Amino acid sequence: MNEGPEALDLRVETVTIVPVEGNAEICRLLLGTNVGIVGMSLCDKATGLIAAKLGNSAIAGKDPRAAPALYHALHAADAAPPAIAALDIALWDAKSKTEGVPLWRTLGGSRGPWNVMRGDAKGQAIHVQLEGNLDQDLERIAAAQSAIARKIVEPVIALTFPANWNHPDDAAKVIAHAQAIERHFDIAFIELSLPLDSTGAHLAIGKVIRAALCNGRGFGRISDFRPALECRALDGYLLDVDALGLTGAMVVANAAAAYDLPVLLAPSMGNLALHLCGAMPNFAFAMWDGRLTASGTGRADQSQSVPGLDATLGDDPGIGLEGFS
Amino acid sequence: MKITDFRLDTYVMKMDRLVGDANLPDGTEMMPGAILRIGTDEGLEGISLGFGTGIAELFPAIEGCDPRDTVHLWKRIRDWLHKAGNEGMASLSFSAIDAALWDLKAKIAGVPLWQLLGGREGRVKAYASGLDYCLSDEDLFRFYRRMAERGVGAGKLKVGLDLKADMRRIGIMQEALSIASDKPELMIDANEYWSARHAIRWMARIEEKFDIVWVEEPAARHDYLGLRQVSDSIRASVASAENLKSLEQVSPLLANRSASILNLSANHSGVTGCRQIAQAAHGFGVSVSMMNCQANFMAHVAAALPNHTMMEVVDPGREHCLTFDNWIEDGHIVMGEAPGFGIGVREDVLAMLQADPPQGKGKFPFPRREGAGLYIVPPQPGEVPWATTQPEE
Ligand SMILES: [Mg+2]
């Protein structure tokens, strides 16, 4: 029989939020445990307040190593998805700190390098936010493409359509815009802002455009993705870890893998979503998040090589976001 | 930490009793065993149990790598097998390697695997499964009663060849389980012997008398439209997927809503593959049920799945050369604190089995019975130890 070490009694004791210096919008969510390990995540202040309250009522006293089980229990109790996501990330952070390894290793993945997609010319893929005026949008794409084309033979171009094109009736507008753009550019991915259950609109758009249709940013319940999954209405899933949590993102990624569809990761606070890349069977690209790196310190402790062309994860335990700012 | 070597021990065991189904009604008492151990430069060793004997072909894909990077290594083997196919012995070996690496990963972390995988407790609801086509009515009752005495109030019966006798035996199972539950959960398993239409006809007659929770493999594993037809035509859930190997093979069942329950095991491309399928199923709103295995080691994986219903327990006596750290209590498989799968090897017994292989009736794997999917070949005289339905009845 295998003799293990004494079973560790590990519990979350308190859930608190502390401000992030120099950034009024973002706070740290901290899960203090009885053994001194502190699980951490980053979220906006409003989410942090809800998450702390939820954490103190529903997570305190629980073992953070059960992160996925706690995640599913919180969703079963119908708590707010972004607050669950913030708790989930902090629980995973605590879990991998308990193992003394970076989160990517806890998840069984690898350090990379992973494809990142940026709004500027530093990645191998470019991501352009469109605003809906065709001439201006074409110029935006052209500018981004010419900046990257010097380094990459066939750059990957992903477009995010305007956030206010968010009604199923906007399908005709989406089609006209996408077709006009595809006359000039070879677009790999188009991210839509339609409701995720606009199956008819997704299928109608997908029939007449060439790019892979993606959606999912901001959606935080696994069940939100079911209508699209059941009808194969999308060609790729854009998973937003700040809404869906690490646990939920993994579930949806595996469901998308049933069709061999790619997963793109939406920008995540401090780019912590990169930890998931190696643990997903179908990771393609991660959208780079500049919110924390803008302060200058960024993920310097975490990422041994930041774009450039890709991102590589480091060896700090957990999500590795202790050291910024 | 680095993976340095492996050791594969194969052996044959004789179980405590026969096991059989519609494809092999007279059953077998013999079963092959394979214990894989993957070694590291720090002395820790990962163990898995299965049937894979093609380990040497795949080992170069993981040799020298860090064993904690389980999913990463799984992807390497998956890609390695891409053209040849994740099938047959290659698939079983892939599964065995992956499971041993997860055992190792949990041992490195010093925790039972259910905890490493994020479960809240090492406890999984169990259902009794006799693999019982070869058991007399009396032995059938005894088996389910013995499980019911341990609190198990759910059971699954092998059916398929003799409708009236199958119904009599569902009643025997129900009666035996009734000491554990006022309303035992009843499942049946046709092991792909029926066609979809046959399943619809016979399920209609069975459901006149019994409330069946699920019917397992009521049509062929790949007939996702036929399974969907059955799903749409009966009250019970359809369970399937036990003979598929990977998410790619399971995906038509999900995309076509062919089954409400997926039967999973370590042979679904290891712990990694099994979890992937379970999570994908969760995305589609489908539940999963872990299949029986030696020492119930996959209960560790089941305990950490969000959509797991209950796990199959057969308990035919397959643990001759194993020690393990779980037991049945209050209708649940309860796991102890031993790290990884909690499995150990009794070297002396293993050496004895290898030196002097036991002899007995039958062998694995089960073949397919004549008539499957086409017409019914009822049990022949002397084939089963229970009263078959005669023409004059
Ligand atoms: Mg079965």
Spell out which residues of chain B touch residue A199, defining contact as CB-CB under 8 Å. none
Residues B269 and B245 occupy one common structural domain: yes
Residue A193 C-beta-side C-alpha neighbours within 13 Å:
15
Residues B158 and B288 occupy one common structural domain: yes
Instruction: Provide the pLDDT for residue A244.
Output: 98
Domain CATH number, residue B39 = 3.30.390.10
Domain annotation covers residue B74: yes
Q: Which two tokens stand for residue B233?
A: 């035509």
Q: State phi, psi for A255 to the nearest 5 degrees.
A: -65, -40
A251–B338 CB contact, under 8 Å: no
d(CA B134, CA B18): 7
d(CA B36, CA B322): 12
Strand partners, A191: A160, A214
Domain CATH number, residue B183 = 3.20.20.120
Residues B189 and B176 occupy one common structural domain: yes
Cis? peptide before A248, omega within 30° of 0: no
CB B173, CB B189: distance < 8 Å: no
| A233 touches B: beta carbon within 8 Å | no
Domain annotation covers residue B362: no
Instruction: Provide the pLDDT for residue A310.
Output: 67
d(CA B187, CA B344): 32
Question: Residue with structure tokens 């006799």?
Answer: B130
Instruction: Provide the pLDDT for residue B157.
Output: 98
- Residues B336-350 have a mean pLDDT of 98
For domain A114-313, give the CATH number.
3.20.20.120
Given this chain, do its domains A5-100 and A114-313 carry the same CATH topology? no
Measuring CA to CA, which residue among B271, B265, B274, B278 is closest to residue B99? B271
pLDDT band for B364, please (50, 70, 90 cuts): confident
Domain annotation covers residue B366: no
pLDDT band for A323, please (50, 70, 90 cuts): low
User: In the predicted model, is pLDDT for residue A32 greater than 80?
Assistant: yes
Strand partners, B261: B239, B287
Residues B101 and B139 occupy one common structural domain: no
**Is 0.90 exceeded by the ipTM?**
yes
* CATH class given for the domain over A5-100: alpha beta
Say how many domains are in chain B.
2
Residues B72 and B135 occupy one common structural domain: no
Residues B88 and B179 occupy one common structural domain: no
Could you say which of B74, B91, B111 is where a domain stops? B111
Q: Read off the pLDDT of residues A271-301 as tens digits, 9 standing for 90 and up.
A: 899 999 999 999 999 998 877 654 333 343 3
Q: Read off the pLDDT of residues A99-132 as tens digits, 9 standing for 90 and up.
A: 999 999 999 999 998 888 887 766 678 899 999 9
Domain annotation covers residue B367: no
B284–A229 CB contact, under 8 Å: yes
| A63 touches B: beta carbon within 8 Å | yes
Q: Read off the pLDDT of residues B8-26 as tens digits, 9 standing for 90 and up.
A: 999 999 999 999 999 999 9
Residues B66 and B124 occupy one common structural domain: no
User: In the predicted model, is pLDDT for residue A325 greater than 60?
Assistant: no
User: In the predicted model, is pLDDT for residue A4 greater than 60?
Assistant: no
- Residues A302-323 have a mean pLDDT of 70
Residues B163 and B308 occupy one common structural domain: yes
Q: Read off the pLDDT of residues B146-181 as tens digits, 9 standing for 90 and up.
A: 999 999 999 999 999 999 999 999 999 999 999 999
Instruction: Please tell me the distance between residue B186's alpha carbon and the centre of ligand 1 in angstroms.
Output: 14
Instruction: Provide the pLDDT for residue A149.
Output: 66
Spatial neighbors of B382 by CB under 8 A, at least 6 apart, are none
User: In the predicted model, is pLDDT for residue A164 greater than 50?
Assistant: yes
- Residues A134-141 have a mean pLDDT of 97
Residues B32 and B146 occupy one common structural domain: no
Instruction: Provide the pLDDT for residue A1.
Output: 41
- Please give the share of chain A, as a percent, with pLDDT higher than 70: 90
Residue range of the domain that includes B10: 3-111
Domain annotation covers residue B231: yes
B72–A278 CB contact, under 8 Å: yes
Instruction: Provide the pLDDT for residue B303.
Output: 98
DSSP letters, B293-335, are -GGGTTHHHHTT-TTB--EEE---S--TTEE--EEEETTEEEE
Instruction: Provide the pLDDT for residue B190.
Output: 98
Residues B79 and B22 occupy one common structural domain: yes
Instruction: Provide the pLDDT for residue A297.
Output: 34
What is the Rg, in whole angstroms, of the alpha carbon atoms belonging to chain B? 20
Helices A199-208, A171-182: axis angle to 10 degrees equals 20
CB A117, CB A158: distance < 8 Å: yes
Domain annotation covers residue B371: no
Q: Read off the pLDDT of residues B74-133 as tens digits, 9 standing for 90 and up.
A: 999 999 999 999 999 999 999 999 999 999 999 999 999 999 999 999 999 999 999 999
What is the Rg, in whole angstroms, of the alpha carbon atoms belonging to chain A? 20
Domain annotation covers residue B160: yes
Does the global pTM surpass 0.90?
A: yes
d(CA A267, CA A243): 11
Secondary structure, 3-state, A162-214: CCCCCCHHHHHHHHHHHHHHHCCCCCCEEECCCCCCCHHHHHHHHHHCCCEEE
Domain annotation covers residue B60: yes
pLDDT band for B363, please (50, 70, 90 cuts): confident
Instruction: Provide the pLDDT for residue A23.
Output: 81
Domain boundaries along the sequence of chain A: 5-100, 114-313
Residues B71 and B148 occupy one common structural domain: no
Could you say which of B111, B136, B155 is where a domain stops? B111
Residues B100 and B122 occupy one common structural domain: no
Q: Pick A109's closest partner by Cβ from B71, B110, B118.
A: B71
Q: State phi, psi for B194 to the nearest 5 degrees.
A: -85, 165
Instruction: Provide the pLDDT for residue A288.
Output: 87
Helix (H, G, I), strand (E, B) or coil at B124: strand
Could you say which of B93, B111, B129 is where a domain stops? B111
Residue A211 C-beta-side C-alpha neighbours within 13 Å:
29
